[in-house]
Amino acid sequence: MKKAIIILSALVFSNVAILKAQDEENIHLKTVGFGLHIEQFKLNDLTDLNSAPVNKLIVPINPTQHLRIEPEFGFKFGTNKNTKLKSSSINYGIGVFGQIQKKKLNLYCGLRVEYGMMSEEVNNNYNGMILSQTKTKDKLQRIMFGPALGGEYFLGDNFSIGGEISILHVAINNTEDPKPTGYKDNKNNYTSTNSGLFLRFYY
């Protein structure tokens, strides 16, 4: 009888230890967080306007341990101190991913979509002279979408640092406001690799 109790107790404790080890093996993702999407070295953002935000706010949402929805938002506003001309950029985006966890690592794969609006005031030149009364505004609209693959490593239960690579199709429409006579919008399409650094805090 004593042997049976000892064996039963050992089995109970071993099962508890196994379950605890399984819980510790894979990180349990919290439902909501916030963070930064850092793209300081994003070459395809170096447009003529040169006013695209390279750092974006993100809100990772995990409805389940295997699904992530991640909206992002970025903006940039500036004024040239010499010419007083203004520039601005606003970007909206969202990512939808499937994900799996392995110990402290979370891997995800899915689709990112982003829409950006950029504008910059310019003074037209005539024979090398700046005519302030002919101030115009260059406007650019950009849509990007494509597959993305990333991962994040958890430093504790609430904070992670990660990276992401993607292949994005980019469609750009560049126009001028007001449009000069005979002006045609400049449209461009290309596909580019992209990468970014992600800092996320969950609560």
CATH code, domain with 128 = 2.40.128.90
* pLDDT confidence band for 78 (50 / 70 / 90): confident
Look at residues 114, 116, 130, 57 and name the one whose alpha carbon lies nearest to residue 88: 116
Proportion of the chain in helix, strand, coil states, percent, rounded to 5: 15, 60, 25
- pLDDT for 48: 45
Q: Could you tell me if residue 173 is inside a domain?
A: yes
- Kindly tell me if the per-residue pLDDT of 1 is higher than 80: no
* pLDDT confidence band for 133 (50 / 70 / 90): low
- pLDDT for 134: 66
Q: Could you tell me if residue 10 is inside a domain?
A: no
> Per mean pLDDT, which range of 4-13, 26-35, 72-81 is the poorest?
4-13
Q: Could you tell me if residue 97 is inside a domain?
A: yes
Q: What is the pTM of this model?
A: 0.76
- pLDDT for 184: 80
- pLDDT for 178: 74
* pLDDT confidence band for 110 (50 / 70 / 90): very high
Q: Could you tell me if residue 39 is inside a domain?
A: yes
Q: How far is CA 155 from the centre of its chain?
A: 20
Domain that holds residue 50: 28-202
> Per mean pLDDT, which range of 41-45, 176-180, 185-189 is the poorest?
41-45
Q: Could you tell me if residue 106 is inside a domain?
A: yes
Task: In whole angstroms, give the CA distance from residue 112 to residue 97.
Answer: 9
Q: Could you tell me if residue 182 is inside a domain?
A: yes
The phi-psi region of residue 50 (left if phi > 0; otherwise alpha if psi is between -120 and 50; otherwise beta) is: left
Q: Could you tell me if residue 20 is inside a domain?
A: no
- pLDDT for 42: 55
What's the pLDDT tens digit per position in 24-61? 688 999 999 999 998 765 544 544 444 566 689 999 99
Mean pLDDT of 178-185: 75
- pLDDT for 76: 87
How many independent structural domains does the chain possess? Answer: 1
Task: In whole angstroms, give the CA distance from residue 58 to residue 114.
Answer: 12
Q: Could you tell me if residue 166 is inside a domain?
A: yes
